[in-house]
Amino acid sequence: MKKTKTARKIIKTVKLAKNPKGLDAFFKAENIALIGASHEQNKIGNVLMKNLLKNKTVFPVNPNVDLIMNRHCFKTVLEIEDKIDFALIAVKAEFVPDVVEQCGKKKIKNVLVISSGFSEIGNEKLNENLKSKLEKYNINCIGPNCLGIYDSFSELDAIFLSQQRLKRPLQGKISFLSQSGALGGAMLGNLAEKKIGISKFISYGNAINLNECDFLEYLSEDENTSVICFYVEQIRDGKRFLEVAKKVSSKKPLIVFKGGVTEQGNRAALSHTGSLAGDSKIYEGIFRQVNAIQVDNLEDLFFVANLFEKFENFKNIDEKIQVITNGGGYGIICADQIEKNGLKLAEFSPKIKEKLKKEIPQVNITNPLDLMGDVTNERYKIALDNCLNDPANDLILLVVLYQTPLINEDIVEVVSGMNNKRKKPIVLVIPKTESEFNISEMLEDKGLACFEFPENAIRVLKKFLRK
Amino acid sequence: MKKTKTARKIIKTVKLAKNPKGLDAFFKAENIALIGASHEQNKIGNVLMKNLLKNKTVFPVNPNVDLIMNRHCFKTVLEIEDKIDFALIAVKAEFVPDVVEQCGKKKIKNVLVISSGFSEIGNEKLNENLKSKLEKYNINCIGPNCLGIYDSFSELDAIFLSQQRLKRPLQGKISFLSQSGALGGAMLGNLAEKKIGISKFISYGNAINLNECDFLEYLSEDENTSVICFYVEQIRDGKRFLEVAKKVSSKKPLIVFKGGVTEQGNRAALSHTGSLAGDSKIYEGIFRQVNAIQVDNLEDLFFVANLFEKFENFKNIDEKIQVITNGGGYGIICADQIEKNGLKLAEFSPKIKEKLKKEIPQVNITNPLDLMGDVTNERYKIALDNCLNDPANDLILLVVLYQTPLINEDIVEVVSGMNNKRKKPIVLVIPKTESEFNISEMLEDKGLACFEFPENAIRVLKKFLRK
């Protein structure tokens, strides 16, 4: 208890600055020096060049080449006359300290180091060497040993994976901070496939000077970010994290997935980045203390974030759920999962119950509300409308099995029309099927949140409701 | 203990008959009377007609119509001269007993009743009436209140959902028995979407005379079924189920998903089919006693079955897992999940460890084996080959993040080539991404089992390993 109180006291004194640590220099950069630019197809220095060039002014640096993609190539950054917002460094690890020295001389204050081969493989000497250069010139550094950064609003693509290999996600207001680059990359691809949009992506690797706290602070001030997702194996400075993360989560939902929560997982983390993942109970305690939402499935990280983004305007939602279904079995599974997850099935208010009895007399008015196999679009509409008007529930879990013969694709309009009134969150369960219409895709395009299975929907809802 | 022993004793005396209860009359039917056939588009009697006609000889019965789809329509089954394998009944509930009476007179011994409106809505009188007709003529009945049956081998499609609305799954050796019709239908569509093949599908509804035990017995003898999936809310005859299911599961994996495992779920089940779902602990005990595999997620029902079908030739696999990955973060999550699920990370045998150290010196030889971001197809091949030859592990969990630049689509050939040697089960984790190639689809087409997330893969593996 005492500890918590102390922490709280400190937090009150922490004030988050706008543009903390001047990270806008990275995310709103226009002029970027690419050190280690390459003209060879598929080389990292070539992929980065192509990705950056789409929207930014790139100054390629490579002492061995004159022209890259028809652009003059500089021998060193010192030759560049323009002001550089940040230098993106993708040379062999052993050359990084020298290159950073040159950046310092050129008065470049921000570097993003993609190169790996530092403390993550036990090369502490090289690590210290890089550190001292950064300190000498007071340079902000993202990385080393990272995938890069991405911003869908400023259209900065500083990720070293090609856009053919990894299609970027749509624009959205979820930002994603990842200690692991490979996991970050895989998730970006997954988000593109799931059509969940993102704002900023930051792979921060070894965090040699900028660390998770700096990025969290920055994202909490970012107007294009409304939800923050965070994959982490190790928090380096627990005390500062307690302060910063609490402040951050008071402004925006902070959703955390922790890698290395078991002994075996810890051992794997140690061999991965040389970081000691630490006791999972301690981490759970920290995340609880800072009001972060810890998810246990990688899959849930973005689905929870997606609900926060979609339902941004609903505050303090309680856990009384009204289930509407056209398949009794799905109703039963929903009821099971709601109870298992400690949520509640709402009870109808007497008034709405009477109204429903009159308007859809063929239906047994209970929760789950089973509209039955002969359900029509119209019956769905009546049920939804009444349930949305019932003060006795807090949100609607709506199951639509598109197989039943008397509904058709107009069900999309019925549901999205009701959703547009924004009375309550509506969460959908729609099994993905091979059919003439892809109802869940059509509903997602209308801004609704769809899940394939009741279990996933309710597990994610529980986290969204912070239960 | 005593109870178990008694049960075992009885089981030894139970002998499953080939073609139990003569159910071949349904599944291998050639001549089918469709009572309640309709010429009106989208009516159930019309959809059934179209579905059946693709491969079977149909005798439409409807006293009010002369021709249906250019075929002579009979007033009653008594007018039909040919021998009828079974009658498919889709008339209003109140007419069903009379129609069954006529079937009895025509010496039809098998009926499938789609119609609903019996005990599931509390109409016990009609239920008893139907029951007495069935007993009077000694008729086998599937249903009433069901979706129908399907057989991908005999090409029987007696499901009342149109093939436009619900594309049927591919052919496979998983059979699916479902108490709930709507859930059965939704899952069929989901299986089609996931390209998981099925053999037989049986929606048995109210089980007025043929019940789950009869169908399980039949499926256990069916040469086209190698795995049985079962969605159940209520088992009617516990004693017989104990006997039959134990015998069935000694022949084929029996995977069960139980709806109504909580108080709320039970209440929903009661209002759904009038069936009392019962205490979940008792059910868990029953399923354990009969060696059925109970899954807790609807999603897992078919993924577990899929592993059993794919790895049919591997017997008594132990739980020592070798993880191979090209992303450290994924390795950590796999290690976490393996420990959380009570499985084991294998340790390398000294010989293989030495071999790997020589052949891929850039890699740290631990489990998870992280082949790193600069992995090539060749490095994957060396790792896989050695791990498959290592007696110290029982199966391989292989993570492929297709984003890393130095692998390409030939990785499909590398993995499937190794898989074709059938030394050990290989289970894949491949995040679905938007990319130039859909690697997981390509690997699934080659017969491999792919999962999108480590958590799901390992949860399903645990059930497959019966841990």
Per-residue pLDDT of chain A (467 residues; tens, 9 = 90+): 333 333 333 444 445 557 788 999 999 999 999 999 999 988 999 999 999 999 999 999 999 999 999 999 999 999 999 999 999 999 999 999 999 999 999 999 999 999 999 998 889 999 999 999 999 999 999 999 999 999 999 999 999 999 988 999 999 999 999 999 999 999 999 999 999 999 999 999 999 999 999 999 999 999 999 999 999 999 988 899 999 999 999 999 999 999 999 888 888 887 665 555 567 888 999 999 999 999 999 999 999 999 999 999 898 899 999 999 999 999 999 999 999 999 999 999 999 999 999 999 999 999 999 999 889 999 999 999 999 999 999 999 999 999 888 899 999 999 999 999 888 999 999 999 888 889 999 999 999 999 999 999 999 999 999 99
B contact residues 230-259, partner A, Cβ 8 Å cutoff: 231, 233, 259
A161 and B CB contact within 8 Å:
yes
Spell out which residues of chain B touch residue A47, defining contact as CB-CB under 8 Å: 405
Strands A148-151, A198-203: pairing is: antiparallel
Q: Give the pLDDT mean for B404-430.
A: 94
| B42 band by pLDDT with thresholds 50, 70 and 90 | confident
A179 and B CB contact within 8 Å:
yes
Nearest to A113 by CA among A10, A206, A190, A218: A206
Structure tokens of A11?
Answer: 């937090």
Q: Best of A272, A340, A369 to disrupt the B interface by mutation (most B CBs within 10 Å)? A: A272
Alpha helix (H) ranges present in A255-349?
263-273, 280-289, 298-310, 328-340
CA distance B428 to A103: 44
Radius of gyration of chain B (CA): 25
A264 and B CB contact within 8 Å:
yes
B19 and A CB contact within 8 Å:
no
The pLDDT assigned to A437 comes to 85
Residues near B378 by Cβ (< 8 Å), separated by ≥ 6?
Answer: none
The pLDDT assigned to B9 comes to 39
Count CA atoms within 13 Å of residue B229 on its CB side: 34
A–B CB contacts, 8 A cutoff, strictly below: 262
Do residues A107 and A94 lie in contact, with contact meaning Cβ atoms separated by under 8 Å?
Answer: no
Residue of A nearest to B408 (CA): A165
Q: Give the pLDDT mean for B356-374.
A: 95
The pLDDT assigned to A237 comes to 85
Give the containing element (helix H, strand E) for A151. Answer: strand A148-151
Q: Judge: B164–A436 Cβ closer than 8 Å, yes or no.
A: yes
Nearest to B463 by CA among B304, B336, B338: B304
CA distance A102 to A168: 33
**pLDDT, tens digit, for every residue of A428-455?**
999 998 888 899 999 999 999 999 999 9
Closest by Cβ to B328, choosing from A47, A182, A436? A182
Closest by Cβ to A403, choosing from B179, B186, B262? B186
The pLDDT assigned to A10 comes to 40
- Rounded to the nearest angstrom, the gap between the alpha carbon of residue B340 and the centroid of all alpha carbons in its chain is 27
Query: Mean pLDDT of all residues in chain B?
Result: 92
A453 and B CB contact within 8 Å:
yes
The pLDDT assigned to A273 comes to 57
Q: Judge: B182–A264 Cβ closer than 8 Å, yes or no.
A: no
Do residues B238 and B211 lie in contact, with contact meaning Cβ atoms separated by under 8 Å?
Answer: no
What's the N-to-C CA distance of chain A in angstroms?
22
Q: Is the confidence at residue B414, as pLDDT, over 60?
A: yes
CA distance B245 to A455: 27
- Determine the 3-state secondary structure of A156 from DSSP: strand
B340 and A CB contact within 8 Å:
yes
Spell out which residues of chain B touch residue A170, defining contact as CB-CB under 8 Å: none
The pLDDT assigned to A277 comes to 55
Domains of chain A (ranges, CATH numbers): 23-145 (3.40.50.720), 166-310 (3.40.50.261), 320-464 (3.40.50.261)
Residue B89 β-bridge partners: B35, B113
Closest by Cβ to A433, choosing from B183, B186, B263? B186
Q: Is the confidence at residue B436, as pLDDT, over 90?
A: no
Nearest to A331 by CA among A300, A292, A375: A375
Spell out which residues of chain A touch residue B324, defining contact as CB-CB under 8 Å: none
Q: Is the confidence at residue B255, as pLDDT, over 80?
A: yes
Provide the shortest C-alpha distance from residue B49 to chain A (in Å): 15
For this complex, say whether ipTM is above 0.85. Answer: yes
Nearest to A268 by CA among A257, A277, A279, A255: A277
- Rounded to the nearest angstrom, the gap between the alpha carbon of residue B397 and the centroid of all alpha carbons in its chain is 24
| B189 band by pLDDT with thresholds 50, 70 and 90 | very high
Closest by Cβ to A332, choosing from B44, B166, B260? B260
**pLDDT, tens digit, for every residue of B286-320?**
999 999 999 999 999 999 999 999 999 898 899 99
Please list, residue by residue across A49-75, b when 16 or more beta carbons sit within 10 angstroms of its beta carbon and e when fewer do. Answer: bebbbeebebbbbbeebeebeeeebbe
Q: Judge: A455–B261 Cβ closer than 8 Å, yes or no.
A: no
CA distance B86 to B77: 11
Cα–Cα distance list, B187 to A3, A299, A327, A406, B432 (Å): 51, 21, 12, 19, 21
Spell out which residues of chain B touch residue A299, defining contact as CB-CB under 8 Å: 452-453, 455-456
| B13 band by pLDDT with thresholds 50, 70 and 90 | very low
Spell out which residues of chain A touch residue B267, defining contact as CB-CB under 8 Å: 335, 366
| One-letter amino acid of B238 | G
The pLDDT assigned to A15 comes to 52
Closest by Cβ to A431, choosing from B189, B296, B403? B189
A contact residues 375-434, partner B, Cβ 8 Å cutoff: 401-405, 431-434
The pLDDT assigned to A2 comes to 36
Residues near A424 by Cβ (< 8 Å), separated by ≥ 6?
Answer: A314, A388, A393, A394, A395, A396
Residues in chain A: 467
CA distance A411 to A26: 45
B330 and A CB contact within 8 Å:
yes
No. of helices (H) and no. of strands (E), chain A: 17, 20
A361 and B CB contact within 8 Å:
no
As a three-state string, the secondary structure of chain B is CHHHHHHHHHHHHCCCCCCHHHCHHHHCCCEEEEECCCCCCCCHHHHHHHHHHCCCEEEEECCCCCEECCEECECCHHHCCCCCCEEEECCCHHHHHHHHHHHHHCCCCEEEECCCCCHHHCCHHHHHHHHHHHHHCCCEEECCCCCEEEECCCCEEEECCCCCCCCCCCEEEEEEEECCHHHHHHHHHHHHHHCCCEEEEEECCCCCCCCHHHHHHHHHHCCCCCEEEEEECCCCCHHHHHHHHHHHHHHCCEEEEECCCCHHHHHHHHHHHCCCCCCHHHHHHHHHHCCCEEECCHHHHHHHHHHHHHCCCCCCCCCEEEEEECCHHHHHHHHHHHHHCCCEECCCCHHHHHHHHHHCCCCCCCCCEECCCCCCHHHHHHHHHHHHCCCCCCEEEEECCCCCCCCCCCHHHHHHHHHHCCCCCEEEECCCCCCCCCHHHHHHHCCCEEECCHHHHHHHHHHHCCC
Nearest to A247 by CA among A285, A291, A313, A294: A291
What are the backbone angles phi and psi of residue A376, rounded to the nearest 5°?
Answer: -115, 165
The pLDDT assigned to B2 comes to 36
Residues near B25 by Cβ (< 8 Å), separated by ≥ 6?
Answer: B85, B86, B109, B110, B140
The pLDDT assigned to A357 comes to 97
Do residues B327 and A186 lie in contact, with contact meaning Cβ atoms separated by under 8 Å?
Answer: yes
Closest by Cβ to B366, choosing from A233, A271, A455? A271
B45 and A CB contact within 8 Å:
no
Q: Is the confidence at residue B23, as pLDDT, over 90?
A: yes
CA distance A419 to A107: 53
The pLDDT assigned to A14 comes to 47
- Determine the 3-state secondary structure of A7 from DSSP: helix
Do residues B52 and B33 lie in contact, with contact meaning Cβ atoms separated by under 8 Å?
Answer: no
Closest by Cβ to A268, choosing from B185, B331, B456? B331
Residues in chain B: 467
- Rounded to the nearest angstrom, the gap between the alpha carbon of residue A163 and the centroid of all alpha carbons in its chain is 19
Q: Judge: B262–A190 Cβ closer than 8 Å, yes or no.
A: no
Closest by Cβ to B180, choosing from A271, A298, A328? A328
DSSP state of A74: B
CA distance B84 to B218: 21
B contact residues 52-111, partner A, Cβ 8 Å cutoff: none
CA distance B321 to B154: 39
Q: Judge: B167–A297 Cβ closer than 8 Å, yes or no.
A: no
Do residues B460 and B397 lie in contact, with contact meaning Cβ atoms separated by under 8 Å?
Answer: no
Structure tokens of A366?
Answer: 């209970």
Give me the residue label for tokens 């999309």: A412
CA distance B184 to B143: 14
Q: Judge: B271–A370 Cβ closer than 8 Å, yes or no.
A: yes
**pLDDT, tens digit, for every residue of B199-247?**
999 999 999 999 999 999 999 999 999 999 999 999 988 899 999 999 9
Residue of A nearest to B347 (CA): A264
Whole-structure pTM value: 0.92
Q: Judge: B433–A186 Cβ closer than 8 Å, yes or no.
A: yes
The pLDDT assigned to A66 comes to 95
CA distance B230 to B451: 22
| B20 band by pLDDT with thresholds 50, 70 and 90 | confident
A159 and B CB contact within 8 Å:
no
